[in-house]
Amino acid sequence: MTEQQTNNNQRKRLKVIACEVLFREICLCSAYTRNITNLDFMPRGLHDNPDMMRAEVQKKIDETEKGAFDGIVLGYALCSRGMDGIQAKDIPLIIPKAHDCISLFMGSKEKYMKYFTEHPGTYYYTSGWFERLKGMFVERKHQDGLGLGKKFEEYVAKYGEDNARYLIEFENSWVQNYSQITFIDIDFVNFLNYSEEAKKIAKDRNWNYDEIKGDIRLIRKLIDGEWDEDEFLVIPPGHTIVASYDENVMKFK
């Protein structure tokens, strides 16, 4: 038995700092793991500002009592470089080697990259994305795209009608990059029927729709402490996560 296998068989006390879109999946894995976990979920909205995400996650790490845990598990991926610059203090950090959370829902970064390459212009949904923050497509009804609705009225009051129309058009311009919605179906939450909402959004946008089976094996391995170097990065105290721009996604320095 290798040293890593021996360590994997030992019960660990872990602090989990994770994006709230992973709430149900991490809670499920925590319920079944032999490890002892303390869960701390961060707002999904931090993804909109990687610098703020980095600062808030680092703050949680810095606040962790020295010696209280065997490791701090990050329920994140590189996430638009939001984890680039995160530093381990007194306790090792563990993070999946993945570009974003879609890999965590699909089961591997390789599976995600294959699908990504074969289906360009795809916007992904999971149940957690619907639950934790109504997605951009859900909040942006058709009237928003026409320059109508509450947000438009607020912009008119602040900036005038011409500027308001420009701002609405600019905010919606990113939609032009997409032509498909893919819903990742995680079996234990499919009774929630969020796939029907995803289908409706695709229909309203006149986009293609696809549905694929998810796999939470990476999340389970993360919580169970099965941190093989092919799929996880273990950052020793005093070291920092940096993007590697290769198949490993990230490394530490």
For 135-166, how does the pLDDT look when each residue is reduced to its tens digit (9 = 90+)? 445 543 333 333 345 567 777 887 888 777 76
- The pLDDT of 5-11, averaged and rounded, is 64
Query: By C-alpha distance, which of 201, 93, 99, 196 is closest to 145?
Result: 201
Q: Are 202 and 181 in contact (CB under 8 A)?
A: yes
> pTM, whole model, 2 decimals?
0.82
Per-residue pLDDT tens over the stretch 82-122: 999 999 999 999 999 999 999 999 999 999 999 999 999 99
DSSP 65: P
Q: Are 20 and 43 in contact (CB under 8 A)?
A: yes
Cβ-Cβ contacts under 8 Å for 97 (sequence gap 6 or more):
109, 230, 231, 232, 233, 248, 249, 250
pLDDT at 165: 74
Per-residue pLDDT tens over the stretch 25-38: 999 999 999 999 99
